[in-house]
Chain A
Amino acid sequence: MESPVVIVLEAMLGGAIRVSTPFMFVALGECVTEKSGRVNLGLEGTLVLGAMTAYAISFHTGSPWVGVLAAGVAGSVLGAMHGSICGLPKVNDVAVGIAMMLFGVGVAFFFGKPYIQPVAPRLQSIPLGSWSESPNLRSALEVNPLFFVGIAAAFALAWALRNTRWGLVVRTVGDSAAAARAMGVSVNGVRLMTTTIGGFFAGVGGAFLSLSYPGSWNQGLSSGQGLMAVALVIFARWKPLRCVLAALLFGAAGAIGPSLQAVGVTQGYYFFNAAPYILTLVIMIATSSAKHSAADMPGELSMAK
């Protein structure tokens, strides 16, 4: 029997790897969208629809990766809907986002009914812990390929936003729509594109939920993770790499509650189950600085105005 501290640490490592991926994808998607000065609160709905689509397509085609792609496409459609509706004059993106959230969840439940019972082929994980003697560590290090895809995407996005013309255009649209228009850039066109990309990411995040961990489709699957991920973007101050860190932290903290109960620290589990939120608050307060966040925040965001 290993010592309780080791078990909790292993569980946190495992939790960080297992739970973080959907947060990572949704947060990255939202990060791109918000960089262009628009908020899409509908990603919770996109996540759920992505989960349902991936499961259904994987079930019908027998290939989970086709399911992942389909989830991304379904997410893109929702994102494009949000993007085009918000392109109309005098439309509030937050309100549309809430409507899109309800829409996405509703559509997913409607079409997802027949897929609760059947078992679809899931994404295979890569066993990175085969060197270890400990079965716990081996299980914690079963990493899904999407986890690495997410991290790679974060690096790519961070680089592209900083170094490419595309990134410059997105950032300009996000910081000053007037300046972008003066440059001859179509503000609505760029925002439509970033919201669609954001939707794609969130859809893929949903695919992870239904095809990897927990790895089945049911109606309570997301339970608010899409909304939390949107909040993580603010926590990560609109930086893709920080989105990854925030998602990892959130996943690790989420494992604290169950694993403490498993090693016998059973009192106060409601408190420990709230660890991710408490930790997020503490870090936010500790690192908060009015100057920094103001500098990081895209100027066109409705909450910045």
Chain B
Amino acid sequence: MSSAIITRRALLKTAAFGAAGASLGLGSLRSARAADLVVGIVYVGARDDFGWNQAHAVAIKALKEVPGVKVSEEENVPETDAVSKSMESMINLDGASLILATSFGYYKPFVLDLAKKYPKVEFRHAAPLWNKATDPMNAGSYFGYLNQAHYVDGVAAGLSTKSNKIGFVAAKPIAIVLSNINSVLLGARSVNPNATVQVIFTGDWSMPVREAEATNALVDAGCDVITCHVDGPKVVIQTAEKRGAKTCGHNANQGPLAPKGFITGAEYKWETIYKGYAADIKSGKPLPNFLAGGFDADYVRNSPFGAGCSPEGQKAALAAIEGLKKGKPIYVGPLKDNKTGKIVIDKTYANDDPFLNNMDYLLQGVVGSTT
């Protein structure tokens, strides 16, 4: 009897499913059948932010060109329950068998919970958080050592600066940011012993007005090269260009924003990882659970040189990249911090040594403080 009654809810359900089927489902189900692999990717911000999200989007674009791979993307997904819903709809409606979660806060609990719920789907998350002892085997992490590319920035900047002062607009004093700052210094010092790096912390990941103020303040203080580690480097690069300072980029290629002063920039090369995943799934190999690397693994790269880079800088930067590919260490000890003058890096560490993950100091030669 009850089955004869068309309830409002049932009607809505059918309608919603039908609509979803019409808009997303049918098209992608058909393509899913034709394709071997559907990859779902969620971004925390806009795909064209000139920063972190754009770096992933560029790689996804390269992945789309691989035959037999389909991609389902969703941007501006907050680090809340919303990401679970996005990922589930990618799995259930689009038939995704690999989910790439690109923002730090997606991992716990959202990726972990879904990985348990869908054991046949592979989940990979862009930060070194996966723990073999506790986390599901169909989840995992991938990560690039961007500080190696910042080191190359430093080399090119060290030979392109006239004032020997490099300005760095940084968001927060956490290990990843500090390592990038220190790497710029060491890169610059490797070719120009007089170079210093001056840091301004803005205190947050996205503060466009304060980032512009910080850039102006650094130029006022005599820095003629500006680089940064903030979410969207667009404002920093544009402001520096307007002031006539040279720039090094961060996360994605900001060269087009600074036609006069761009030197080079530190970029992720996620496509190496994404194409690797696709190849592994197609050939039936198990996906690696933990990937991390720099130039050695081809996970990072430098933006094409701009007009601001001196010829010597280009040459030295290319040589530095060759060195890093062979694993030449950046942190050659002993090195002192800039606050107390105490030795904080006692010996030479390999570029992927976990010791370097706990960095909470700025090296001597950096003007700035972590507190």
Contacts and interface: CB of A to CB of B under 8 A. Distances in A.
A128 interface: no
A273 B46 contact: no
Interface string A212-226: 011110111101010
A148 interface: no
B232 A255 contact: no
A106 to B, nearest CB: 11
Given A113-B46, A117-B48, A218-B232, A269 B369 contact: yes
B206 A223 contact: yes
Contact of A273 (B210, B212, B216, B367): B210
Contact of B216 (A119, A139, A221, A270): A139
B262 to A, nearest CB: 14
Please tell me the size bucket of the interface on B: 35 or more
Nearest to B46: A116
A7 B198 CA distance: 15
Interface stretch (A61-69, A155-163, A234-242, A256-264): A256-264
Interface residues of A, number: 41
Contacts of A19: 209, 213
Contacts of B208: 214, 216, 218, 220-221, 223
Given A258-B214, A262-B217, A273-B210, A218 B369 contact: no
B342 interface: no
Contacts of B211: 214
A139 B200 CA distance: 19
Contacts of B105: none
B228 to A, nearest CB: 13
A263 B202 contact: no
A75 to B, nearest CB: 19
B114 interface: no
Given A214-B211, A223-B208, A258-B214, A269 B220 contact: no
A254 B198 CA distance: 19
Interface string A197-222: 00000000000010001111011110
A136 interface: yes
Nearest to B169: A258
Contact of A214 (B201, B212, B220, B371): B212
A208 to B, nearest CB: 11
A255 B210 CA distance: 8
A267 interface: yes
A21 to B, nearest CB: 11
A225 B213 contact: no
25 contacts: A7-B220, A11-B217, A11-B220, A18-B212, A19-B209, A19-B213, A117-B50, A136-B220, A139-B243, A214-B235, A214-B238, A214-B239, A215-B242, A216-B238, A218-B208, A219-B46, A225-B209, A254-B209, A254-B213, A255-B213, A258-B214, A258-B217, A259-B213, A261-B199, A269-B369
Given A19-B209, A258-B202, 5 more contacts: A14-B220, A218-B49, A258-B217, A267-B369, A269-B369
Interface of B: 45-46, 48-50, 76, 167, 198-203, 206-214, 216-222, 231-232, 234-235, 238-239, 242-243, 257, 367-369, 371
Interface of A: 1, 7, 10-11, 14-15, 18-19, 109, 113, 116-117, 119, 136, 139, 209, 213-216, 218-221, 223, 225, 254-255, 257-259, 261-264, 266-270, 273
